[in-house]
Amino acid sequence: MGYKQLGRIHALCRFAVFMVACSVLTLHARTDILDRVLAVVGSDVIMLSDVRTVTTFGLMPDAHNEADVLTQLIDRALILGEVNRFIVPEPGVGVIEARLDDLRSHFPTPEAFLDALAKVGMTETSLARALLKGWRVENYLEQRFGSTAQPTEAELARYYRGRIDQYSIGGEPQPFDQIRDQVQRDLHGERQRTLIADWIARLNLRVKVTRLDEEG
């Protein structure tokens, strides 16, 4: 498992990023952008406008270009196909509206937010539907991969020593006893991301994925 793939999965597990990006595939409202198909994942189609939606709202800060965004959208399409096979509980009252408010807060005015939606052919209603689908994916991943085995003390110490620079301030390592909980969260999260990456790799073997973004 390479660092590049793990980095992709790390972005995938960032819930705030995940909420919309995994769901834009279901949005059919389009603007006057010259649209085209960039990828086909099973029966799902990823359009250029899907990628532009992600970049417009800054939903994938770890993606350095549109090719990276497309790769992550393909991963999310694979996951969403699995999620739709199961019954996932609905979110509590106000959860989706709170996430809408968080997105609105990234724009200087309500008008700027609505203008950004219009540019990618979306409305607040379609965005709320996307957020709901994203929440379902998030909830599914947490149910399936959230209960990975907790690392032992020896594993924590080894992880800490292997990443001592990461846990240093001003060149001085922070004492393990003071940051043990952080080390535990980091190692647990890394293991979780590895499990998800392996799972997505298996999904890729079961679902036909065709990328067209390199064809000009």
Flag whether pLDDT at 14 surpasses 90: no
**Residues 99 and 19: beta-carbon distance below 8 Å:** yes
* Per-residue model confidence (pLDDT) at position 7: 55
* Per-residue model confidence (pLDDT) at position 1: 53
Instruction: Classify residue 175: in a domain, yes or no.
Output: no
Stretch 172-194: mean pLDDT: 94
- Alpha-carbon separation of residue 5 from 1, 80, 139 (angstroms): 7, 19, 22
* Residues in CB range of 45: below 8 A, 6 or more apart: 25, 37, 39
Q: How many other β-carbons are positioned within 10 Å of the β-carbon of residue 125?
A: 8
Lowest mean pLDDT among 1-5, 104-108, 155-159: 1-5
Flag whether pLDDT at 127 surpasses 90: no
Q: At CA 15, angle to CA 9 and CA 78, rounded to 5?
A: 50
**Which range among 33-37, 60-64, 88-92, 175-179 has the greatest average pLDDT?**
175-179
Instruction: Classify residue 40: in a domain, yes or no.
Output: yes
- The crossing angle, in degrees rounded to 10, of helices 66-83 and 124-145 is 70
* Per-residue model confidence (pLDDT) at position 98: 94
Q: Which residue has the tokens 């959208």?
A: 73
What does the mean pLDDT of the chain come to?
A: 82
Instruction: Classify residue 156: in a domain, yes or no.
Output: no
For the chain, the domain total comes to: 1
Confidence of residue 4 (pLDDT cuts 50, 70, 90): low
Compute φ and ψ for 5, nearest 5 degrees. -70, -40
Shortest CA distance to 64 belongs to which of 4, 2, 1?
Answer: 4
Flag whether pLDDT at 156 surpasses 50: yes
Instruction: Classify residue 145: in a domain, yes or no.
Output: yes
Query: Residues 36-76: pLDDT tens digits?
Result: 899 999 999 998 888 888 888 777 778 888 899 999 899 98
Instruction: Classify residue 174: in a domain, yes or no.
Output: no
For residue 56, give the amino acid letter. T
Flag whether pLDDT at 8 surpasses 80: no
Instruction: Classify residue 178: in a domain, yes or no.
Output: no
Instruction: Classify residue 169: in a domain, yes or no.
Output: no
Instruction: Classify residue 33: in a domain, yes or no.
Output: yes
* Per-residue model confidence (pLDDT) at position 203: 93
H-type alpha helices, 95-123: 95-104, 110-119
Compute φ and ψ for 204, nearest 5 degrees. -60, -30
Domain with 55 in it: 3-149+194-211
* Per-residue model confidence (pLDDT) at position 133: 79
* Per-residue model confidence (pLDDT) at position 215: 56
Residue of 210 and 146 predicted with greater confidence:
210
Q: At CA 77, angle to CA 115 and CA 43, rounded to 5?
A: 105
